[in-house]
Amino acid sequence: QVKLVESGGGLVQPGGSLRLSCAASGISISTYHIGWYRQAPGKQRQLVAHITTSGSTNYADSVKGRFTISRDNANGYLQMNSLKPEDTAVYYCNIYYYTDNYWGQGTQVTVSS
C-alpha cells in the first residue's frame, strides 16, 4: 500500500523558516514527479512548487525566491524561508507519474507573531 507522509510543519514567526519533508512508503519516490500544494481556510488548493524526476523545478510567483523544492532518492523537500502570514496553510505533498497519483495527509504551517 502506498503512503505519503509530510512532516516539518509548525508555528513560526514572520521571517522565519521551515523545512517540509515528504516520505513515501510502498513505492520509490525517485520515479515520480513531486508537487507541493497548499490550502488556506476558505481557499482552493494551489500548487506552490514542483520538481520533475530529472530535477526541473517551477514555483508559484508568490513563493519565488523564498521557497526551494528539492528531492533525493527517498524524500521530497520544501525549504521555506522568509515566511509570511499569508503562507499559513495546510501543505500537501503530491507525487505522480502517468496515471499514478498520490497525496499525503498534509501538514499545518502557521506563520504568526
Q: What is the pLDDT of residues 25-71, one digit of tens each?
A: 999 999 999 999 999 999 999 999 999 999 999 999 999 999 999 99
Check residue 47 and give its pLDDT: 98
Give the mean pLDDT of the chain: 96
Query: CA–CA distance from 89 to each of 2, 34, 39, 100 (Å)?
Result: 24, 19, 5, 25
